[in-house]
Structure 1
Amino acid sequence: MQSSQSPDSTRRARPGRPLQRSAVHPATPLAAASPPCAPRWAALPAAVALALGAGLALPLQAQTAAPQQVEVVGTSPLAGLGVDRDTLPYASQVVRRGTLDAAQSDHLTDFLRRRASGMQVNDIQGSPLQADLTYRGYRASGLLGASQGLSVYLDGVRINEPFGDVVNWDMVPEFALGSLTVLPAANPSFGLNTLGGALALTTVNGLSAPGVQAELRFGSHGRRQAQAGLGQQHADGWHSWVGGSAFGEDGWRDHSKGEQALVMAKIGRQWGPTHWELSALGGRATLVGNGLVPAATHDDGEFTPDLYATRRSAVFSHPDRTRNTLGQLSFNASHKLDADSQAQALAYVRNSRRSTLNGDVADEAEDADENAALNTTATRQRGWGLAASLARRQGAHQWQLGATLDVARVSYSQHEQEGAFDASRGVLAGDEEAELSASVTGRSSNLGLYATDTWRLAPGTHLTTTLRYNRARVSNLLTTVDDDTGVLEAKPEERFTYTSVNPAVGLAQALGPTLTVFGNLARNTRVPTVIELGCADPEEPCRLPAGLQSDPYLKQVRATSLEAGLRWRPAAGQRLELTLFRNTNRDDIVFGSVSATGQLGYFQNFARTRHQGLDAGWESRHGPVSLLAGVSLLDATYQAHGVLRMGERNVLITPGTRMAGLPRQQARMGADWRLAPGWSVGADVQLLSSRGVQGNEDGLLEDGEDDIHRLRIGGYGILNLRASWQPRPGLELMLRVNNALDRRHETFGALAETVFDARGNYTGEERDALFVAPGAPRSVYAGLRLSF
């Protein structure tokens, strides 16, 4: 699902390279002035296929088929007994702690961008801990108003926030992760919002990570980061683990300082067949994400370089600050009834707060003293939940029954204050006090019952079926300013109930000891959140983050996914997985902006959208050398007629219109080499093709004109290098270079208006512009890792 963002909400992003036209049109001045980026990767699939073939050829000459290794993965938030990964009827990606450490990634979403098939990050927020992650075009984003389509679980707790289904990546305890699993498609086992896939994160405990582990990093742009963990095993099966992390940076862009601190503690006991643990997670972050910036203005199709071309690190306006706090307490327990049966239970409470401060262009600038606005929001979310499951191996069947209940309360308020821009495009508050423009209190409850079974029909043949029943209730009580009278008015309370029954069926067939083919058909749903139901009236648009209105009913999204592929282990230490997929959303929920710089818009159902493509990934280990390569092809399109408000424009949508911001082709390659005992070096490369610009999906620059101008954010390639040295066991020195070639690139583009000239001076004259989200320049980081 692709959301339309206003440039004021998207201007917290990073750009790819300045705009490119299609081959039909001459290059723009900006494109000509910029260093050339990677081509559009027309031959990318063939190149990666050749690389895969070359990598496979050598080991196949020297090795015979490897004995099959059983890798067990969980196929629901409560993993139960787990299922042999090779019997699953769909692709999966599993990453262990050692791989995360070796990659030396900045953070979890950076790792996924570099190493996981189908993953991409649009840096719309402009902060390294506020990523807009997409998987096969579906999003798990910290951006309020984005059309979310991925569910994320931490030790069985769903961490998509109830207000907008956003994922606050800055509140994920990456220092405590033991493993992560990526499961694709509309998997009903993972409940609502699992339209394009699910991420299951599992943390360590005193049994799995005993001893002390500590890490210190520092480097470019004032980056400093520290994390540590202590795991202990005590008498009588007791164990404990405690850890924390602290992060701070000045940021490579102007006015982009950020900081974060998290702590996690666990205590548990392994007592015969019973294991339980109690965990507490707390965190606080203050992040600044100054995203999109005007790269070029345009008039009658002629483009002139603007602020981004003048200064790479410039921001459009500031401040743009987000503060998140989190407190979470969870209890997990499992009990083995016998050798083939296990029961699990989960209970949690979760309390989060979010406040934002945004300096924006005034909707109606009266004079130079009142040409801007300070918009502040405050959100509080309190939730609790229960889950239980029973898993059993019984003859040819391995089944699991489960139930989940998630309840949340939300309170939200928004204030506006008149202001004025200073010389740095910062907004200074005016003399009048901030005024309340909207508030909402809401409640949601989701009940789910599911059953799944993997049935061995014959040796090497496994049929997996899943069925889930969902019942969700969403209610809200809104208070907002009447457009005619300017008076705050309370709207009638709204209550909506959604039910669905979602099935899945898939077959995995082994064609030998090393080759398996599979296919899967699944359906799942997503219900509108409080923010979407509260902002669904085109006659009363709202601001994101959100001024809300009493609005029409929105239908729940229905997603159907079909995929087929193969898994092949051609030799010892090698794995190849290839998947073809097609996901279709009906009644997709999209946000149509009515004011780019003012962030006004509304949510609406769109009849049909489609994501289809291919993911291929290869991993290999040859003695001291580890290799990986992958390619992803994605065709994300609207499949119905309609008119969507995209930033400043009414975009005419027809079947086949491509979604903006998603590259059609991606490739990634990586290598690690243990040069000598204690020494290792590594590199990874990400290649992305060009992508469309939001607000230009129909090829027009302005409403009502006839000339077609297909704008593209250029494709690019990024090279990252790393090295490590272990002078003695338990001590490791690390060095990492991101964007080693200092490639100037952008990750997102949108049409909007600017009121500043190319040097950033306020003019008050609205000019049409292409805004882009800048990518980070070359950066160097050093680190120290201790374990004992």
Structure 2
Amino acid sequence: MRTASASASVLCLVLFASFAVGPALAQDAGGAAASSVEELPAVEVVQDTPAKKAARAKKKAPAVSPLSSVSSAPPGVSTQTATGAPTAIPVAAPITVPSAVTNVTDTDIEHEGTGSIQQTLVQKVPGTFISDAAGNILRGELSFRGFDASPVSGRAQGLAIYQNGVRINEAFGDVVNWDAIPSNAISSMSVVSNNPSFGLNALGGAISILMKDGFSYQGGEVDLMAGSFGRKQVGIQAGEAFGNAGVYVAGEWFEDDGYRDFSESEVRRFYGDIGLKGTFAEVHFNLTAADNHFGATAAAPVELLARSWSNTFTSPQTTDVEVYMPSLSASVKATDTLTLSGVGYYRRFKNRVVDGNVTEIEPCPAPDDDELCLEDENVFDLNGDDIDSDIAPDDRLGSIERLATTSESWGGVVEGQEKAKLFGLSNLFLAGVSYDQGKSNYKTSSEMGVIQPKYVVTGTGVFVGGVEHDPDEGDELAPRNLNAENTYWGVYLSDALDVTDELTVTVGGRYNRATIQLTDLTGKFPDLNATNTYERFNPVIGANYKLLPGISVYGGYSESNRAPTPAELGCAEPENPCLIESFLTDDPPLKQVVGRTAELGLRGLGASYGGRYTWSAGLFRTLASDDILPIMENQRIFFVNAGDTLRQGLELSATYETRNWTGYASYAFLDATLNTCDDPSGECAFLVAGDRLPGIPRHLFKVGAEYALTSAWKVGADVIVSGDRPYFPNEAGGGDFLDAYTRVDLNTSYDVTKNIQLYGLVKNLFDQKYGLYGTYFESGEVSNVDKALGGAGFTDPRTFSPSMPFAAYGGVKVRY
């Protein structure tokens, strides 16, 4: 684990770099077609933070220039309230958008307290939940309506994620590294469904993350926190506007030993912004940087967790992530009605994984039992020599896989928004072009190891070269060295016309073209050399009708698509599956996944009894054609276009806020099933038509409240109730479910002075034990390993990632 002094040194270097190079992108949703937006009445708060003061000052301003709206959400959200490239969605925008939109504020992130962006979204957004295939809650997978944004390569990525207008799904695998974004630097997040303008991967929707700048945040804050599992956390932020210039910087550092063995984490992340604002133009430069380490201990056998909730099944399992992303954005008011804006970026991403495992390699059958074999074929080392079986006891053979991904990506968006009236009617037309280019190198290796107590695998120094006598031929254990290059083009347009004062109709669409090229650098895997191209035009149409002041009905239909990832393309041959998901073997073509979404709903906002409220009720249905599902057999995996999957359901939500208390509640019904199966046998990925999709709860209920006991003291609680989830099926089992659970979190804060606040957090108050991700393993084949380590062996094939037990944290914030 890195030392605190090293962390401080790196943070200082990053801060220095940010001022030397610059930081930024901008943010705030300015107004256009003001008649389309119904503002909530202002509600006095108990105590302002600098961010709240700046936000309220903006709201009170007599007019907001469109030039101040260099913003963060992806292009094409026709709110008729925002300008800038890509369009931001303000808090009031959902009243005019023909789809479901949920806004999460910086106050909500502060309220959650632990720096986990995913946990905040789960608390506040209906239909969201977390899975934990990564084995570390800081790298948990966020799901919305059953579509994932995951840091794990090979997982289906069904959400498009944007930060200040830049698509941050990584170039290799479209993975999302939530841990790279400082949570205290986030101004707001908008979860948007049913809009193809967000480009690739927006099957379930998109999440737009808007960062702070020196115009939206003035002041400073130092946040110190400590608590359970060795958590030590420091957060800093400061912003100031100097006339036409604004500067903002934020950083977070924390260490955590984790609630499972070998699950320590260290996070160091930074964000900075420098902006210039004039009457007709605004420019921002920003920098995001992160250097994080995670002890990611994945799913463990249920019988092992029954012995101790902290047990892990094979380690080391570590992940190191580095991200460096500068970006530049600008917005120019060309005429009274036309705004031109754009954003350009460069992103460098490094990922290093060390993964200890139980291995299928074993002594060869007699008379060659002094050598090692895989399925009766000799295993040789990097020199082409057979590996002796005496490197480890028979029942304690293991392996350590190392995976290294290095990516560089760059690109941008250019967008124009025209607000001139059409046939005398208020209208917002926007059109834009996006380009994203990514180059990645991917390497793997496998070292023979010995399984020690607590399933710790130690290396022997012998690296596997393959399982064939001819070292020139590639096979499932040979090291990989692969280049991947992806080129994404997008052209989108949208028009929102106020047909009447009550009715707004939106039409538009986006053309996507994706080219993914894989090149094998070892010369041993010629089947990986391939170029796959996918293209599609995705339409959208919708309408919003104001039934009464503050109440509207909306409906819409849209289509979206995602291209297969390199991990899916490289493990898509049933006759040549991957022994390990990331050890790519072949590249037969896979079809792109196409989503077709329809929504219908009601929503409203208003004020009563001294407070303000919002509410919404909506139905949704998304059919994903040619969906890609994993098939796991004999500890091998490959991906197929299984058929069509269906995700449909109901979402209800409400909020209420007064001077002394705030409250929210939501319920989501998620019916996620395999709709049709393309296999003639009627079975796809061990599912048949009508089966529930794995990992998705059918019922989600969330409720929370915060009450001001005095002008200085607040207390609050948040409750999440989740239904059961089907295990991820494979040949080892099926039909099992992770248990339903109820989790209660508490929070409190006390303002000692207007500048000093003490606070406390309790997570999982009643110490509920539940699983976040469930799958199966070959219990019979591993049972002897457990017995060799002094255990009773395994008979149950189920494994799952355990939830965090009871935890408590306390801290102090100093503001100026």
Range into which the TM-score falls when normalised by the shorter chain = 0.7 to 0.9
Residue identity in the other structure for 1:393: K
Query: In 1, Cα distance between the equivalents of 2:721 and 2:795?
Result: 33
2:328 pairs with one of 327, 331, 356: 331
Query: In 2, Cα distance between the equivalents of 1:515 and 1:199?
Result: 25
Q: What secondary structure is seen at the aligned counterpart in 2 of 1:469?
A: strand
Contact 2:642 2:679 in 1 (8 A): no
Distance 1:679 1:339, change over 3 A: farther
1:465 maps onto 2:507 in alignment: yes
Query: In 1, Cα distance between the equivalents of 2:736 and 2:638?
Result: 25
Contact 1:503 1:523 in 2 (8 A): yes
Query: In 2, Cα distance between the equivalents of 1:564 and 1:394?
Result: 29
Residue identity in the other structure for 1:750: T
Query: In 1, Cα distance between the equivalents of 2:631 and 2:96?
Result: 42
Query: In 2, Cα distance between the equivalents of 1:104 and 1:216?
Result: 11
1:496 maps onto 2:527 in alignment: no
2:403 pairs with one of 369, 377, 382: 377
Displacement after TM superposition at 1:181 (Å): 0.5
Contact 1:324 1:355 in 2 (8 A): yes
Alignment correspondent of 2:576: 540
Displacement after TM superposition at 1:277 (Å): 1.0
Query: In 2, Cα distance between the equivalents of 1:248 and 1:404?
Result: 38
1:309 maps onto 2:348 in alignment: no
Alignment correspondent of 1:240: 247
Alignment correspondent of 1:683: 717
Alignment correspondent of 1:265: 272
Query: In 2, Cα distance between the equivalents of 1:701 and 1:191?
Result: 37
Query: In 1, Cα distance between the equivalents of 2:546 and 2:268?
Result: 47
1:405 maps onto 2:426 in alignment: no
1:220 pairs with one of 217, 228, 243: 228
Displacement after TM superposition at 1:478 (Å): 2.1
Displacement after TM superposition at 1:580 (Å): 0.4
1:155 maps onto 2:164 in alignment: yes
Alignment correspondent of 1:566: 602
Q: What secondary structure is seen at the aligned counterpart in 2 of 1:164?
A: coil
Residue identity in the other structure for 1:731: I
Query: In 2, Cα distance between the equivalents of 1:736 and 1:407?
Result: 42
Query: In 2, Cα distance between the equivalents of 1:88 and 1:446?
Result: 27
1:178-214 alpha-carbon deviations (Å, 9 max, x no partner)? 11100013x2110011000100001111111122122
Displacement after TM superposition at 1:638 (Å): 0.6
Query: In 1, Cα distance between the equivalents of 2:579 and 2:485?
Result: 21
Contact 2:403 2:442 in 1 (8 A): yes
Number of residue equivalences: 688
Residue identity in the other structure for 2:694: A
Displacement after TM superposition at 1:767 (Å): 4.3
Query: In 2, Cα distance between the equivalents of 1:765 and 1:605?
Result: 37
Contact 2:480 2:583 in 1 (8 A): yes
Residue identity in the other structure for 1:591: P
Query: In 1, Cα distance between the equivalents of 2:588 and 2:495?
Result: 39
Contact 1:480 1:547 in 2 (8 A): no
Displacement after TM superposition at 1:75 (Å): 6.7
Displacement after TM superposition at 1:752 (Å): 1.6
Contact 1:477 1:491 in 2 (8 A): no
Alignment correspondent of 2:546: 510
Alignment correspondent of 1:62: none
Matches of residues 580-591 of structure 1 in structure 2 within 5 Å? 580-591=619-630
Alignment correspondent of 1:59: none
1:425 pairs with one of 437, 455, 473: 455
Displacement after TM superposition at 1:492 (Å): 6.6
Displacement after TM superposition at 1:173 (Å): 2.3
Alignment correspondent of 1:20: none
Displacement after TM superposition at 1:727 (Å): 1.3
Distance 1:256 1:545, change over 3 A: same
Distance 1:632 1:255, change over 3 A: same
Residue identity in the other structure for 2:502: G
1:439 maps onto 2:481 in alignment: yes
Query: In 1, Cα distance between the equivalents of 2:745 and 2:89?
Result: 35
Displacement after TM superposition at 1:479 (Å): 4.9
Displacement after TM superposition at 1:710 (Å): 3.9
Residue identity in the other structure for 1:566: L
Q: What secondary structure is seen at the aligned counterpart in 2 of 1:653?
A: coil
Please give the root-mean-square deviation of Cα atoms over the aligned residues, in Å.
2.5
Displacement after TM superposition at 1:324 (Å): 0.6
Query: In 2, Cα distance between the equivalents of 1:650 and 1:585?
Result: 15
Q: What secondary structure is seen at the aligned counterpart in 2 of 1:334?
A: strand
Distance 1:578 1:540, change over 3 A: same
Matches of residues 751-766 of structure 1 in structure 2 within 5 Å? 751-754=776-779, 755-756=782-783, 761=789
Distance 1:494 1:387, change over 3 A: same
Residue identity in the other structure for 1:249: D
Alignment correspondent of 2:20: none
Query: In 2, Cα distance between the equivalents of 1:167 and 1:108?
Result: 12
Contact 2:86 2:413 in 1 (8 A): no
Contact 2:644 2:677 in 1 (8 A): no
Q: What secondary structure is seen at the aligned counterpart in 1 of 2:122?
A: helix
Contact 1:212 1:230 in 2 (8 A): yes
Matches of residues 544-623 of structure 1 in structure 2 within 5 Å? 544-569=580-605, 571-572=607-608, 573-596=612-635, 600-623=636-659
2:444 pairs with one of 414, 425, 439: 414
Query: In 2, Cα distance between the equivalents of 1:550 and 1:324?
Result: 27
Query: In 1, Cα distance between the equivalents of 2:788 and 2:127?
Result: 37
Query: In 1, Cα distance between the equivalents of 2:687 and 2:591?
Result: 20
Query: In 2, Cα distance between the equivalents of 1:252 and 1:170?
Result: 18
Residue identity in the other structure for 1:307: L
Displacement after TM superposition at 1:744 (Å): 1.6
Query: In 2, Cα distance between the equivalents of 1:681 and 1:760?
Result: 51
Contact 1:559 1:584 in 2 (8 A): yes
Contact 1:439 1:478 in 2 (8 A): yes
1:197 maps onto 2:205 in alignment: yes
Contact 2:72 2:210 in 1 (8 A): no
2:676 pairs with one of 618, 635, 640: 640
Distance 1:776 1:652, change over 3 A: closer
Q: What secondary structure is seen at the aligned counterpart in 2 of 1:309?
A: helix
Displacement after TM superposition at 1:535 (Å): 2.0
Alignment correspondent of 2:750: 725
Displacement after TM superposition at 1:571 (Å): 3.7
> Using CA pairs below 8 Å that are at least 6 residues apart, which structure has the higher relative contact order?
1
Alignment correspondent of 1:58: none
Residue identity in the other structure for 2:220: V
1:530 maps onto 2:560 in alignment: no
Displacement after TM superposition at 1:651 (Å): 5.1
Displacement after TM superposition at 1:534 (Å): 2.0
- Identity among equivalent positions (%) equals 27
Q: What secondary structure is seen at the aligned counterpart in 2 of 1:542?
A: coil
Query: In 1, Cα distance between the equivalents of 2:100 and 2:685?
Result: 36
Query: In 1, Cα distance between the equivalents of 2:596 and 2:98?
Result: 15
2:74 pairs with one of 62, 73, 76: 76
Alignment correspondent of 2:805: 777
Query: In 1, Cα distance between the equivalents of 2:684 and 2:102?
Result: 39
Query: In 2, Cα distance between the equivalents of 1:360 and 1:167?
Result: 25
Query: In 2, Cα distance between the equivalents of 1:777 and 1:644?
Result: 45
Contact 1:575 1:619 in 2 (8 A): yes
Q: What secondary structure is seen at the aligned counterpart in 2 of 1:511?
A: strand
1:627-677 alpha-carbon deviations (Å, 9 max, x no partner)? 1000000010111235699xxx98543221111111100100000001111
Distance 1:786 1:402, change over 3 A: same
Q: What secondary structure is seen at the aligned counterpart in 1 of 2:229?
A: helix
Residue identity in the other structure for 2:766: L
Residue identity in the other structure for 2:713: W
Query: In 2, Cα distance between the equivalents of 1:164 and 1:685?
Result: 34
Structure 1, unaligned runs of 5 or more: 1-68, 296-305, 482-487, 703-708
